[in-house]
Amino acid sequence: MTKNHDGGASSPLDDGGMAVAGISVAVVAVSTTRSRTAGSARTRTPWVAMEDYANLIRERTPIRALRLPLTTGDPHTVADRIIGLGSRVSAVFLLGLGPTEAAAVQREVEEGDGPLVITELDVLTVSLAAAAITVLRRRSVPPRAGRVVVTNPQWAPLLAPVLIASGVGDLSSWHQRDAEAFPLRRLMEHNDVLIDLAGCAPETAAPGRTVTVPADPFAYGALVLPGLLSALCGHGVRHLTVEVVAACVRALALITPADQLLPSLDDRLLVSAVARHAGRTIGHAPPFSNQHQ
């Protein structure tokens, strides 16, 4: 173990003692007592999730996945560590920070000419939006006619613009402070899908029409990350756009079986579909989409 300049103990960037060859990404996990994702408490710690995401990348793509555990939630310090990785990584996958802190890291790294930073909340947003599209499809409601309500939207700031870019015609937000004046159950009488980021919706609010944040974000994030990295790495992409995220949403929605909310992690089309749709958005054919399926 070594001491980071943040004052906490953590392992150095783990490259397995081998020189980095080809395209590499770093999975950066911040583990503090305040590490949270969306509105729910995670069931696996950020450092355990870091290992699982790194293994997933290695298994599903030819990209080399490095690991960097951190014990500080200070965005400036995290951004400095990421920028310090230099050219050895093409992208960084960041988890363990809240939405405000994660966005601050992305902004500072981009301004510092660092690598592309994708957060766990970004890939979670893809799956939540795709699940909402699936619910609309089950109800035979075209997205442009769909009416979606999101509770506590501040937990996932990218979700609203991604839903709009995905064609959702009507989007409303609801906060817990609205409960007395606008009960969710009454609101959902006039809407199609409820995305409950707050984890506060009663089961009777929108039965069969509610999309919730999983207690373990890995279950949703893992559906997106390998394909997204396959599409974006190696092309000098420094910023994750709404258009790219919406393309991933379309990919998940298209391959989701009729009897499921989202595709299975072992779906052989998963990585290639996400990579292909995201790659088209940036004008490149994903180099890894036909491999490691």
Dump pLDDT digits (tens) for 85-121: 988 899 999 999 999 999 999 999 999 999 999 999 9
Mean pLDDT across 279-283: 90
Q: Between vectors from CA 186 to CA 198 and to CA 220, what angle results, nearest 5°? A: 30
Q: Is it the case that residue 292 has pLDDT exceeding 80? A: no
* Closest of 164, 157, 8, 25 to residue 87, by C-alpha: 25
Gap between the Cα atoms of 161 and 121, Å rounded: 14
Q: Between vectors from CA 192 to CA 161 and to CA 270, what angle results, nearest 5°? A: 60
Dump pLDDT digits (tens) for 164-199: 999 999 999 999 888 889 999 999 999 999 999 999
User: What would the two tokens of residue 122 be?
Assistant: 């970004």
Percent of residues, the chain, with pLDDT higher than 90: 77
Element (H, E) at 195: strand 193-196
Average predicted confidence (pLDDT) for the chain: 88
* The predicted structure's pLDDT at residue 22: 67
Tally the C-alpha atoms within 13 A of residue 8's C-alpha that lie toward its C-beta.
15
Residue with tokens 């991933």: 248
- Tell me the pLDDT band of 234, cut-offs 50, 70 and 90: confident
Report whether 127 contacts 223 (CB < 8 A).
yes
User: What would the two tokens of residue 273 be?
Assistant: 């579909």
Residue with tokens 């906490």: 8
Strands 193-196 and 147-151 turn out to be: parallel
Q: Is it the case that residue 290 has pLDDT exceeding 90? A: no
- Tell me the pLDDT band of 41, cut-offs 50, 70 and 90: low
* The predicted structure's pLDDT at residue 241: 96
Q: Is it the case that residue 1 has pLDDT exceeding 50? A: no
The answer to whether the predicted template modeling score (pTM) of the entire model surpasses 0.85 is yes
Gap between the Cα atoms of 153 and 115, Å rounded: 27
Determine whether 88 is exposed, middle or buried from the number of CB atoms within 10 Å of its CB (0-12, 13-18, 19+): middle
Q: Output the 3-class SS for 164-186.
A: HHCCCCEEEEECHHHCCCCCHHH
* The predicted structure's pLDDT at residue 12: 40
* The predicted structure's pLDDT at residue 19: 27
Q: Which fold has domain 2-119+218-240?
A: Rossmann fold (3.40.50)
Query: Residue length, the chain?
Result: 293
Please state the domain extents for the chain. 2-119+218-240, 145-212
* The predicted structure's pLDDT at residue 165: 97
Q: Which residues pair with 172 in a beta bridge?
A: 149
Q: Is it the case that residue 9 has pLDDT exceeding 80? A: no
Q: Is it the case that residue 238 has pLDDT exceeding 50? A: yes
By three-state DSSP, how is residue 57 classified? helix
- Tell me the pLDDT band of 28, cut-offs 50, 70 and 90: very high
* The predicted structure's pLDDT at residue 13: 45
